[in-house]
Structure formats: structure tokens, C-alpha cells
Structure 1
Amino acid sequence: MTEIDPIALRELTTLRTGAAPRRMLEASTTTELIDALREVWTGGDDWFVLGGGSNLFVGDEPFDGTVIRVLTTGIDELPSPHEGRIRLRVQAGHSWDDLVAYAVERGYAGIEAMSGIPGTVGAAPVQNVGAYGQEIQETLVEVELIDEHDSDAAVVPAADLGLGFRTSVLKHHYGEAQGRRAVILSVTLDLAVTGDGGRVVRGEQLRRALGLEDYEPVPLSWVRERILATRAMKGMLLDEADPDTRSAGSFFQNAIVPERVAGTLPPECPRWPVEPDLDTVTVIPLDSYYGLSPRPDRPEGLVKVSAAWLIENSGIRKGFKLPRSRAGISTKHALALTNRGDATAAEVGELARFVQSRVHAEYGLLLQPEPVLVGVDL
């Protein structure tokens, strides 16, 4: 590991806010990363790890602790126990989109719809990244991680990560304690080997995004090109010349509410059912079993509703800015809060609170932030 002169976090995050922390370390190998973490944990310093900086909203006051930059890279190809598949073990600091490009070039399918997502591979399982109906949990086998204050790294299967919609036990949600405070060292994915023949696209959300009408195989490279073009049109592809890309992506999560709450919203508000747990087991003691199983109570279903629709229909349009503020809603995507030019974290936070208040006033729902907040309160 290398200790460097701290760099202002506005230079290392896509939302471009944040002063220089008190201390900064860089780790270019797994060993260096583990050593850096152990040193910080032993000293009791406040800390966080920084990858691509694409899901961080950092405050204006200097972070009084240590920031560890994860710069590890590398992809190892491993045999898969499943016929027609291959496993990739990827270092945590590797660019996610570089990994997607690597897989597509070699005909490895399963992550092509997630082309153009910024950030690093190590951050991908933390928030279960996904796009157009494809999520990392579909191909994730395991991660190698190290728990805070633990001396040894461990391999943890994907099933133990509590993966859900844009979440896991590793993610620090605003206002909640982290389920498991650990740092991912590497990620292992299991992908289908399609070669040059392409793949039939099955998911309806992805088919709609690609404009597919038949079920003929299409090249993975074609899927990637179309997804990158779509993300660029929405300002979700990093571009130095485009202020709409100076964001943390979708700033607010889609709201997940009970069916009865969703029923109070206008019918035109987009909504999607949240899949119920179909693995629930009912245990009946033998001494009370008389040949009939009790009918289980049907739990109230949950519904995911569009935060973008709620924002726009509460009177906040694309391109909206508060007076004299350098922060604004993207001109292309209502969910993205953008830095239009040297905006402070205070300005971005003011805009976020205004959006929350408008949606709450109109629909009674309090939108929750998607990025990890460091030194910021909403």
C-alpha cells in the first residue's frame, strides 16, 4: 500500500462533491488492500473504501479519517462445473464496464445488458447492480471478502449476501446500520459461453429496450452497442462534456410499498409487483396434524412504483434547478441529480430535500436516497 497526499473527493467521484480527507491510502494488490484495512482497523480510524466513486455523495467538510482507494485489477478464467459455461474471478478494483467488454468480446453472456454502468467490480454485488432486467445476482457465484476487524479473508457464496433489489447485507443504506461491514476483494461470476453465434434474448424488459420482435439469436456485441447508446441518450454514460453525467446515477430508489398504498396512487403511475417468497415453509407438529394443512394467510403483496414518475408528476421537470443553485435535475433523466458546475454538497442536498418534500406532499411517500452518503444528512 502507498500513502499519498489526499486528493479532493470531488475529483474522484462522479457527482463531484467532497473535500480532501485527512488521510488517503492506495492499494494496487489484494495483499496491499488487506494490509491497509488491517492497519486502519487496528488504529481505530474512521474509514471507507473508494472504487469508481459513482455511488457516493460526499459532504463539503473534510472526512476525518482514512480513504482507501481500491486499484486492484485482473481477470482469471476458471472452469465452471456447468457445461457450456465459464467462471471469471475478477479483482475488486477492476472497472465494471471493462469486465463487460471483456466478456462480450469473448462471447461470455450474462452481463451484457449491464454495459456502461460506472464503478468497479467490487461495488457491483454490494448494491446488486442491474439494468434492463438483468442483475448481477443471476451470475454471481461468490465473493472473497474480509470482515472488519477479522484477520483472514473468506469466500462467501452469493446466497449469503442477502441480495435484493439494489441491495445486499454489505450496503450501507441511509439511516440504517450496515448488515455486514466488510470489503470485497474479488468477485466470481458464472457466464454462458455463446461464441460468435449470439444468444436469444428472453427477458421482456431487455427485449423492449432493444426493440426486438422475434426470438432469433443476436450478437452480444450488438446488445452492448444498443445498451451503451440508450444509456448515453439518458445521460447515464460518463462524458466529460455532458453535465448530465455528473451525477451518482439514480439518486432516489424506486419506492416499494404495500399494494393498498400503491392503490392510492394514480393508475398511470408505473408499478411492478415484487416477487413473493415462494420458499416459505410451514412446520406442523405431528401431534397436531389431522390430515389437513391449514390454509396459509396470504401476506399483503408489495409493489415497486416509479420514483421518476413521482418526481415529474409532483411538478419537478427534467432540467429543474432551485434559484442560484449549481445543482439541477438532469435534462434527460428525472431520477438523476447533477452537478451543473462546481456545485457544493450543500447545494445538491438542498435539491434532494426539495424533491423529497414535493413527492411527499403530493403522494405521501418519502423517497430514499440510492447513493452512499458520507458526511451528508438529508
Structure 2
Amino acid sequence: MTDLSASSAVRLAELTTLRVGGPVHRFVEAASEDEIIATVAAADAAGEPVLVLGGGSNVLAADDGFPGVVVRDGRRGIAVESQDACGGAAIRVPAGQPWEDVVLRAVAEGWRGVEALAGIPGSTGATPVQNVGAYGQEVAEVISSVRTWDRGTGRIRTLARSELGFGYRSSLLKDSFSDDGTGRAWLPSPRFVVLEVSFQFVLADTSAPIAYPELATTLGVALGERAASAEVRDAVLELRRGKGMVLDARDHDTWSAGSFFTNPVMTAEQAQRLPQDAPRFPVGEQVKTSAAWLIARSGFGKGHGSPGPAALSTKHVLALTNRGGARASDLLALAREVREGVRTTFGVDLVPEPVLVSARL
């Protein structure tokens, strides 16, 4: 375990893909599950704020820094519990394992179900929290259980898929940031700290049915058809690179937290108030629309904010980016401008996707 005090000048800007954020009081790089639990439990007992960090790809941290302990999971590995034609593949992955490596292994081994989730930055432990999804797939489709440290009870708790309450970019884990039934707020880390994620895959070299029109067009197949998993992965990476959504230190469009706002989900009545040409996708009894469409139609084009230090991506209006030298305050100001513009134009309140650390929007 590496434990560094504030004198080491570890800054959240060094630990996050937005590359903003001030110094942390204490930084711990944990090498085992026991070290993660011990660090979090000791901080909770002392009343010290805790930020459990993976790849830092979904965090916007304040310029003033973080007055508590930042715990980063340094564990790696993919454990295959079973693999056969009848039962498929069952694997266990520590929370700190980079997600992209899981996708690459899955495609190579013929584990179907995450091929369209290629290129998503961050750690495996973050994927169930927001039910990470892209191009018609969601990680909830292949998760079997999540092993967690329950800060509320001080015990390890394994949550089955049926208990995780998965929805669009949501889960019981995400809800436990501030609503765990006790009235206690656990921010900036949830009550349930992810330790390990278990997956169950079907064995196949072909993908799940293609459910996203843009991906189907790129692959040259009809919606609902399958393609070779490796081809799906490559097509997704091509699409994501075209939108600045694959990390590249040389490309400031990738100095971001990915999509900054979630796509709004509303009632059918609320959706009727949108313009006729607004995108509408059924989500159960509700309707989802496109945050990117709302932003663009509210007058915010690609690159809005340039030549300032913070601007919308030049490739995709849903990403807020650090053009070099940006501070958290610059990104927050841009986010407020966009949110207010959409509210004024359409009466829709956009919800930020990243975790705000010692910051408010």
C-alpha cells in the first residue's frame, strides 16, 4: 500500500481524465481488498471524507482539492471461474482492473455481451455503478453479482444482479451516494464500495444483436442482426475516436469525462412538449431523448467556448473538454451555461453524469 500525505502534492488533476482538481489531503494506492476496506473503514470511523477512485474518467474535482483520503484500487487480474459450451463463461474482476482490458479479453475469448462497450475509459468497478452503456449494450446485461464493502453496516455484502436495481445509467450502487434509506449522504463515494464484479457470458464469436442504428450502418448490417464480435469492437472504436471519446493525450477533445450530461428520461406527456423532430426512445413507460440534440438545438455548437480554456468538444457537443490550462471553475461555468440554455429553450433540466468532488453545479 502506498500512503502519501498532502506534502507529496498529489493533485486530483493527475488522477482524472479532465485533468483538473486540487491537492488531496491523503492518497492511498491499495494493493489488496483488505487495504481498501481498512482505509475506508478507518476514514469513516474518523469522520474523514473518502473518495474511492478508479480510472478517474467520471470525476470533476474542485480546484480547492479534497480534504480527505483518496483511495485508488491498484489491483489487476481477470479470474475465469468456469468456461464451457453449456454454461458459458463466468469470470471475476477486481474493481481496479481497467475496463478496456476486460473488453479485449472478452472478444478474444468469445465472451459475448461487451463488444460494443469498447473504448470506454475507467475501471471495471465503475461500470455497474452507472450501468455503463453504449451503442445498444449495457453492462447490466452480463453482470451476475457485485461484491461490495457496505459502509453502512461495516460488512462485505455481495449483491446479485436482481438486487442491483439497474436502469438507464443508474443502479442501487449509484443511488447509495445519497439515498440509502438512512438519510445519510455518503458523497463523494457511495455507501456500497465496489470490490469485485462477476460476469456471466454466453460463448460466441458473434455479437449480441446490433441495436444501435449508427453502429449498424457502420457495420453494414440491419438492426437486430449480428456481426463478428471483433468487427463490432473495431467499429465502435472507430465511432468513438471520431467523437473524441477514446483517450489520447495529444487530443484535447479527449481531455474530458465523456458525455457530461445524461440523456433525459421523461414522461410521455413531457415528451409531447418537445419539438416534433426531437429524438424519442421508449424506456419502459417513459421516453428518453437526446441530450446532445437538446444542447445543439439550444445554440451550443461544437467547440463552443473556444478559445477559452474550457469548451465543448470540437467533435461532439455532449463532451465538456479541457483545452489545456482549464480549472474546475471553468468547466463548471461552461456546464452551467449549457444547462441553463437547454432549460430556457426546452424546459428540460440536464443532469450531470460525472461525480462532482467538492464542487457544485
* Cross-structure match for 1:282: none
SS in 2 for 1:41: helix
* Cross-structure match for 1:92: 95
TM-score w.r.t. length of structure 1: 0.87
Of 222, 235, 240 in structure 1, the residue corresponding to residue 244 of structure 2 is: 235
Q: CA deviation at 1:84?
A: 4.6
1:31 aligns with 2:14: no
Aligned residues: 348
1:3 aligns with 2:10: no
Q: Distance in 1 between matches of 2:60 and 2:348?
A: 22
1:337–1:214: structure 2 CA closer, same or farther, 3 Å change rule?
A: closer
For each residue in 1:47-82, what CA deviation from the matched residue of structure 2 results, as whole angstroms up to 9, or x when unmatched? 110100000011111211111111111111112698
Q: Distance in 1 between matches of 2:209 and 2:153?
A: 42
* 4+ residue runs over 4 A deviation: 214-217
Is the 2:115–2:207 Cα contact (8 Å) retained in structure 1? no
Is the 2:255–2:322 Cα contact (8 Å) retained in structure 1? yes
Q: Distance in 2 between matches of 1:85 and 1:215?
A: 22
Q: What's the RMSD between the two structures over aligned residues?
A: 2.0
Q: Distance in 2 between matches of 1:76 and 1:336?
A: 34
Matches within 5 A, 1:312-351: 312-321=296-305, 325-351=308-334
The answer for unaligned runs of 5 or more in structure 2 is: 182-189
Matches within 5 A, 1:118-129: 118-129=121-132
Is the 2:73–2:96 Cα contact (8 Å) retained in structure 1? yes
The answer for unaligned runs of 5 or more in structure 1 is: 277-301
For each residue in 1:207-238, what CA deviation from the matched residue of structure 2 results, as whole angstroms up to 9, or x when unmatched? 34533149876332221111111110110000
1:50 aligns with 2:53: yes
SS in 1 for 2:149: strand
Q: Distance in 1 between matches of 2:296 and 2:176?
A: 24
More off after superposition, 42-51 vs 90-99: 42-51
User: Match of 1:318, as an amino acid?
Assistant: K
1:43–1:271: structure 2 CA closer, same or farther, 3 Å change rule?
A: same
Q: CA deviation at 1:150?
A: 3.5
Q: CA deviation at 1:200?
A: 5.3
User: Match of 1:343, as an amino acid?
Assistant: A
* Cross-structure match for 1:115: 118
SS in 2 for 1:218: coil
* Cross-structure match for 1:292: none
Q: Distance in 2 between matches of 1:344 and 1:172?
A: 28
1:356 aligns with 2:339: yes
Q: Distance in 2 between matches of 1:17 and 1:172?
A: 25
* Cross-structure match for 2:274: 265
Identity %: 42
TM-score w.r.t. length of structure 2: 0.91
Is the 2:207–2:232 Cα contact (8 Å) retained in structure 1? no
1:225 aligns with 2:229: no
For each residue in 1:81-110, what CA deviation from the matched residue of structure 2 results, as whole angstroms up to 9, or x when unmatched? 982511110000000001110111111111
1:93–1:229: structure 2 CA closer, same or farther, 3 Å change rule?
A: same
More strand by proportion, 1 or 2? 2
User: Match of 1:372, as an amino acid?
Assistant: V
